[in-house]
Amino acid sequence: MKLRTSHYITLAFLVVFTYFYRKDGLVATSVLYTAIQFALPLALAAMVGVMCERTGVVNIGIEGTMLFSAFTAFFAGAIMKDTVQGMFVGVFTGAMMGLLLALMAVSWKMNQIIAGVIINILAAGITSFYYRQNYSIPATLHPIDLPVVGAWPILGPVLSFHGPITYFGILFILALWFALYKTSWGLRSRAVGEQPASADTAGVSVTRLRYMNVTIAGAVGGLAGSYLALEAVGIFERGFTAGKGFTALAIMIFGRWNPLGALAAALFFGLTQAVTNQLMIDEVVEIPPQFITMLPYILTILVLAISAGKVRPPAAEGIAYEKEKS
């Protein structure tokens, strides 16, 4: 991601902040706080895409992965009466969905779009069929009051008091960025996503790396799903993820398949939503709620239209690696 884009996004945050701050300092910080909350699942979900596509596997099953993980996380949490255990179940579910995708895309060399669709349909079907009402988790995951940062003026209330998945997620994104560009795992992963034959001839196992990355990515998707069910709202409903897994793909593209770029793009999406919400609460604008729900999708289309042609995806994405076809 070019520095310029992240400048724009910082600028957007500043403008929003100043706008609300002139009226009410508390509202201003709460809008930014909410922006982070909206952004986090998108950012994590985008990491799923980044990890998969950087190794050459297209994953359009992020939506299904999140939905299914949110489902298992919530009901496991409710049945075991333990939210934290529920989260682990969610993460594990995600990893299994990743493994399933790897099986279809890498071993069976299925068309990867179709493999992703299968995951989405599977998740939508199972989660609505087995959905039961009247379940509830004991509590959402505990927010953490950051020691020093929490006391800062203005930034404190924006950055502090998020849940554990939020902090872990942000650390994970930073770590993923580092790993992708500074470690041998990252070098190999990117090589596999660009030119698997070259990686193979250098002694890197394309199959193993793709399996590993797609499965870990699935776990990250599971974390994103758990976040929605256990940290953000504490409930589960049918079609709960509402297209976030698809929006994440747009965010990934907007962020040029770079974890930090995608994080910035997710924050921008989150901010837009938080602002619209606040404007509705303030009744500054009267927009029918349907339009508000449409917002992420419209934004997605806009973003894709803007970045189309300017970004270059990993060259080997979507293509199963066949050894004897060099």
Partner 1 sequence: MNTLLEIEGVSKRFGAVIANENISLTVKGGEILALLGENGAGKSTLVKAVFGLVRPDSGTIKIDGIVMESSDTAAAIARGVGMVHQHFQLVPVMSVTENLILGDEPKRFGVLNIKRARAEVLSLSEKYGLEVDPDAIIEDLPVGMAQRVEILKALRRDVKLLILDEPTAVLTPQETDELLEVLRNLAKRGVGILFITHKLREVMAVADRIAVLRDGKLMGTTTPKESSESKLAQMMVGREVVLRVEKGPGKPKEVLLAVRNLKVIDDRKLEAVRDLSLEVHAGEILGIAGVEGNGQRELVEAICSMRPRSSGEVMVKGQVIPNLSPRAAHLAGVSHIPEDREKHGLVTSYSIADNLVLNRFDQAPFANGWIRNLEKVANNGEALVEKFDIRAPNASLSADSLSGGNKQKVVVARELSQQLDVVVASQPTRGIDVGSIEFIHNQLISARDAGAAVLLVSAELDEILSLADRIAVISNGKIVATFGSKEADRNTIGRLMAGLAS
Ligand X SMILES: Nc1ncnc2c1ncn2[C@@H]1O[C@H](COP(=O)(O)OP(=O)(O)OP(=O)(O)O)[C@@H](O)[C@H]1O
Which residues of the chain form contacts with ligand X (CB under 6 A)? 324-325
CA angle 97, 102, 104 (to 5 degrees): 95
107: partner contacted, choices ligand X, partner 1, none (Cβ within 5-8 A by kind): none
Q: Does 325 bind partner 1 (CB under 8 A)?
A: yes
Question: What's the min distance (Å) between Cβ of 322 and ligand X?
Answer: 9
Question: What's the min distance (Å) between Cβ of 321 and partner 1?
Answer: 12
Which of 3, 148, 202, 285 touches partner 1 by CB under 8 A?
A: 202
> Are 61 and 96 within 8 A, CB to CB?
no
Q: Does 107 bind partner 1 (CB under 8 A)?
A: no
d(CA 298, CA 280): 18
Helix axes 25-54, 259-281, angle to 10 degrees: 150
Rg of the chain's alpha carbons, rounded to an integer? 20
Binding mask 171-200 for partner 1 (x = CB under 8 A): -----------xxxx-xx-xx--xx-xxxx
Binding mask 296-315 for partner 1 (x = CB under 8 A): ----------------x--x
Angstrom distances, CA of residue 231 to CA of 79, 169, 215, 234, 267? 17, 12, 23, 6, 18
What the block records as the tokens of 16 is 């929003």
Residue 235: how many other CB atoms lie within 10 Å: 16
Of residues 209 through 238, those in contact with partner 1 by CB under 8 A are: none
- Of residues 175 and 287, the one with the C-beta less far from partner 1: 175
- Of residues 202 and 285, the one with the C-beta less far from partner 1: 202
Which of 204, 235, 279, 280 touches partner 1 by CB under 8 A?
A: 204
> Are 12 and 271 within 8 A, CB to CB?
yes
Q: Does 256 bind partner 1 (CB under 8 A)?
A: no
Residue 207 buriedness (CB in 10 A; 0-12 / 13-18 / 19+): middle
d(CA 199, CA 201): 5
Question: What's the min distance (Å) between Cβ of 177 and partner 1?
Answer: 13
Size of the site for partner 1 (CB under 8 A): 25
Question: Which residue is nearest to ligand X, using beta carbons?
Answer: 324
Question: What's the min distance (Å) between Cβ of 256 and partner 1?
Answer: 12
- Of residues 183 and 293, the one with the C-beta less far from partner 1: 183
DSSP secondary-structure letter at 322?
A: -
How is 57-118 classified by DSSP, letter by letter? -----HHHHHHHHHHHHHHHHHHHT-HHHHHHHHHHHHHHHHHHHHIIIIIS---HHHHHHH
Question: What's the min distance (Å) between Cβ of 276 and ligand X?
Answer: 54
Residue 299: how many other CB atoms lie within 10 Å: 18
Question: What's the min distance (Å) between Cβ of 197 and ligand X?
Answer: 11
> Are 246 and 304 within 8 A, CB to CB?
no
Question: What's the min distance (Å) between Cβ of 325 and ligand X?
Answer: 5
185: partner contacted, choices partner 1, ligand X, none (Cβ within 5-8 A by kind): partner 1
- Of residues 165 and 316, the one with the C-beta less far from ligand X: 316
Which of 147, 153, 203, 288 touches partner 1 by CB under 8 A?
A: 203
Question: What's the min distance (Å) between Cβ of 323 and ligand X?
Answer: 9
Interface residue list for partner 1 (CB under 8 A): 182-185, 187-188, 190-191, 194-195, 197-205, 312, 315, 323-326
